[in-house]
Structure 1
Amino acid sequence: MPLVNPARPRREDGSPSNWDRYLDLLIRRQVPAKFRQWYVRRVEDFLKDLKPTTLSALTAEQVTDYLRRMSARSDLADWQMRQIVDSLRLLLVDLAQVPAGKGVDWDYWWEGQRTLPPEHATIARSTAISADDRAGPRAIGVPRFSRSAQTFPILEDLARTIRAMQYAIRTEQSYVDWCHRFLLFCGSKPLDALGVPDVQRFLSHLAVERSVSAKTQSLAYNAVAFLFKHLLERPLEDVKFSKTRRQARLPVVLSRDEMRALLAHMDGTFGLMARLMYGTGMRLMECVRLRVLDVDFDNGLILVRNGKGGKDRAVPLPQRLREPLQAHLARVEAQHRNDLAAGGGAVYLAPALARKYPSAQRDWIWQFVFPSARLSQDPDSGQVRRHHLHESSLQRAVKAAGQAARIAKRVNSHALRHSFATHLLEAGYDIRTVQELLGHADVSTTMIYTHVLNRPGVLPVKSPVDAI
């Protein structure tokens, strides 16, 4: 396809120019009119930068390198980078249909533009309070709680206490959330006047008026009980309240044919991540937070560090994913070298680890296996780092693939883990082995998967309709 030329809106024979065709495509793709001129400008900048003789002369590597360089620019917001990605995808894939367009991982470059917010569980404790320091302006990890701390200073003390006891960051955020709601529910009542009746009214309110699940109500109780025991120093006793009825729910499990159909609609970075989750049973955040040193190719293992409950475990590296993962890491390492050459290359490390090994944040082994396309700047220190992909990007990719495959089930990232466990049990593996691979503390948690099997010894019931 010849290069577009804004100075020639139409060809000599009167047929539409490439700019006309591109603008028509923007209209058909329902790009808002106010953005169309920006799409054209993004394409112009791209062509001026690479100066190809024709679009067909472009390579996927050139396009990918351009997107990488644009993503490293701090003056471009996330939405502007997505605009660049979308404008080039429409040009190269939909309009020109050149080979270079087919070789670019467009989903990664689109979804990878989302940076981690300061309150994200991975980095919250790099900007939140420490166990022994006074809170800063964004002390409690979640902005709305930081603002509410001015009304309820005890929330800062709560966060500090939780951190000193080395609870997980998500537990900290959840407990602060529920205690904040509890204090709001109690209104202006002094802290020393709060007691069991207030807790009972709050928990009954959640069950009766808010219709929360039993799990949510239990979480709220645990948070408030922690507040009373460790902050108010008045442990709760004999708390009676209306309880939400706990319902046992079976996990969503995909059949092997459904799994093949799902993965057939996933390629690139997210396709590799989905295959790893199904092939290893990793949880969503365990996959997203993998670092280079966690992949042991020699021994065929993936080390899952600091999983649920703070535990480490090893899972097998699927043989058929060995080469795709090695190729992926080669691309990530090239990107890391570019970051180092530009004066960056840092990655987030836990504060204690960063203090012990100050230079480790730029070492290759500590980089994330699935890094974000964008660089992020710490709002406090100003340091630029490359975090991992936002987990919601993978969640959306899995959901979209399930819809494309027309799977009539609720397909999400956790269904990959459920399917891993169920398919292993179907293959005859011992439930204790599956428990260890999943990282379950209690085998009773793993037993839930036996209820969705249909094989002798587990569900030995033959439907009577099959006999007529």
Structure 2
Amino acid sequence: MSGTSQPAVDGSSPPVPPKPKLLDQVRQAIRTRHYSYKTEKAYVGWIKRFIFFHGKRHPIEMGEKEIAQFLSSLASESHVSASTQNQALNAVLFLYREVMHKEIGYVNGVVRAKRPHRLPVVLTRQEVRSIFGFLDGSNWIMVMLLYGAGLRLMECLRLRVKDIDSNSNEIIVRAGKGDKDRHTMLPAAVKEPLAKHLDLIKRQHQRDLERGLGRVALPNALERKYPNAGKEWGWQWVFPATSHYIDKVTGERRRHHLHESVLRKAVKEAVLKAGLSKPASPHTMRHSFATHLLEDGYDIRTVQELLGHTDVSTTMIYTHVLNRGGRGVNSPADRL
């Protein structure tokens, strides 16, 4: 039987299904690109706020001027941070470019939210050691990768098995911040625990396959191009969630990577047990990685590449941390 539409019994054309509502189109576009649910929730929320800000006008009637007005209000009236304002801009641009297929030019005249000039929190090596003393299992491995390889939290959670190269002692960070790939080191201290962890995960994956499961989401359009790749071992998450979820597009039970809140909680508890007064988080480990490399004499460009910074000025913040509080400067009082 042909897949083309068949005429109705009375000879009239079959009814055309209604076009999905705008926000449903946004959700569908996000899921097609395999963005996280967190991103979907944030983007839909910002698009709603954009529409309501302009009295529920349809976005097709608006453009750069209305986008600038909305973004400026976030900075001047809502006093959001610069990163929050940028997320709102990205959400609205996604609506126009990916859903409505309308190109938006440069958005001029935006009142920009101010970026706070704060130095990052950095731990001493002894403080790092004390935190590791209160971590175990996969939490210990993940935090070791944050500190030992300079990974961001979500970069660590999104690692696939094929991204770990034990022979070359390298980790490939795919689609990091700015959608860039980069290489960083695989710390020797983590190799054996990580290998044992992957053995356990492989057995779990084999059990999933035996139950007709074992598929993970693939990036971009790879799922359409290679429909069976999602069940291959190399594409599995290094740190999978303990339970399955129902994919909203396919209805299939799948396993996602571990949720970020799990590691945030583990680090918070370890910091408290270690008796540290610093407001340390998983990202503090990345800050400490960069600072300790500079302390060890590695040049700023090497550290920049390992961190995946586009501009070396971003990496330069860690040189300010090194000099904080007159560190490395002899006090004139000591020369009296």
The number of aligned residues is 316
Query: 2:45 aligns to what?
Result: 177
1-structure distance, mates of 2:209, 2:60: 55
In 2, are the aligned partners of 1:451 and 1:459 still within 8 Å (CA)?
Answer: no
In 1, are the aligned partners of 2:64 and 2:105 still within 8 Å (CA)?
Answer: no
Query: 2:308 aligns to what?
Result: 439
Does the C-alpha gap of structure 1 residues 250 and 135 become closer, same or farther in structure 2, counting only changes over 3 Å?
farther
1:239 correspondence with 2:106: no
2:322 to 435, 453, 456: 453
1:389 correspondence with 2:258: yes
Does the C-alpha gap of structure 1 residues 237 and 416 become closer, same or farther in structure 2, counting only changes over 3 Å?
closer
**Equivalent AA in structure 2 for residue 239 of structure 1:** G
2-structure distance, mates of 1:191, 1:341: 48
**Equivalent AA in structure 2 for residue 345 of structure 1:** G
Aligned pairs (5 A) from 1:253-402: 253-350=122-219, 352-402=221-271
Whose RCO is larger (CA < 8 A, sep 6+)? 2
2-structure distance, mates of 1:337, 1:228: 43
SS of 1:372 mapped into structure 2: strand
2-structure distance, mates of 1:466, 1:219: 50
Does the C-alpha gap of structure 1 residues 346 and 238 become closer, same or farther in structure 2, counting only changes over 3 Å?
closer
Does the C-alpha gap of structure 1 residues 193 and 347 become closer, same or farther in structure 2, counting only changes over 3 Å?
closer
Does the C-alpha gap of structure 1 residues 177 and 256 become closer, same or farther in structure 2, counting only changes over 3 Å?
same
Does the C-alpha gap of structure 1 residues 175 and 424 become closer, same or farther in structure 2, counting only changes over 3 Å?
same
Instruction: Give structure 1 stretches of 5+ with no counterpart.
Output: 1-133, 138-149
In 2, are the aligned partners of 1:207 and 1:244 still within 8 Å (CA)?
Answer: yes
Query: 1:206 aligns to what?
Result: 74
1:215 correspondence with 2:83: yes
State the Cα deviation string for residues 187-209 of structure 1 (Å, max 9, x = none). 14465765777556534432343
1-structure distance, mates of 2:334, 2:34: 53
**Equivalent AA in structure 2 for residue 185 of structure 1:** F
SS of 2:184 mapped into structure 1: strand
Does the C-alpha gap of structure 1 residues 305 and 232 become closer, same or farther in structure 2, counting only changes over 3 Å?
closer
**Equivalent AA in structure 2 for residue 285 of structure 1:** M
Instruction: Give structure 2 stretches of 5+ with no counterpart.
Output: 1-16
In 2, are the aligned partners of 1:288 and 1:389 still within 8 Å (CA)?
Answer: yes
State the Cα deviation string for residues 326-385 of structure 1 (Å, max 9, x = none). 111111112222222333222222362223322222222221111111122324433222
State the Cα deviation string for residues 198-248 of structure 1 (Å, max 9, x = none). 55653443234322123333443565567678766674665254x443321
1-structure distance, mates of 2:316, 2:18: 44
Deviation at 1:258, TM superposition (A): 0.6
Does the C-alpha gap of structure 1 residues 182 and 441 become closer, same or farther in structure 2, counting only changes over 3 Å?
same
State the Cα deviation string for residues 298-321 of structure 1 (Å, max 9, x = none). 111111122122222111111121
Deviation at 1:452, TM superposition (A): 0.4
SS of 2:183 mapped into structure 1: strand
Deviation at 1:411, TM superposition (A): 1.0
2-structure distance, mates of 1:286, 1:135: 39
Select the structure of larger CA radius of gyration: 1
Q: What TM-score do the two structures reach when normalised by structure 2?
A: 0.80
**Equivalent AA in structure 1 for residue 49 of structure 2:** R
Does the C-alpha gap of structure 1 residues 173 and 378 become closer, same or farther in structure 2, counting only changes over 3 Å?
closer
Q: CA RMSD in A?
A: 3.4
2-structure distance, mates of 1:136, 1:391: 35
Does the C-alpha gap of structure 1 residues 175 and 467 become closer, same or farther in structure 2, counting only changes over 3 Å?
farther
2-structure distance, mates of 1:381, 1:222: 27
2-structure distance, mates of 1:442, 1:335: 41
SS of 2:114 mapped into structure 1: coil
SS of 1:425 mapped into structure 2: helix
**Equivalent AA in structure 1 for residue 45 of structure 2:** D
SS of 1:432 mapped into structure 2: helix
**Equivalent AA in structure 2 for residue 390 of structure 1:** H
Does the C-alpha gap of structure 1 residues 217 and 310 become closer, same or farther in structure 2, counting only changes over 3 Å?
closer
> Identity of aligned pairs, percent?
49
In 2, are the aligned partners of 1:284 and 1:413 still within 8 Å (CA)?
Answer: yes
In 2, are the aligned partners of 1:199 and 1:239 still within 8 Å (CA)?
Answer: no
SS of 1:350 mapped into structure 2: coil
Q: What TM-score do the two structures reach when normalised by structure 1?
A: 0.59
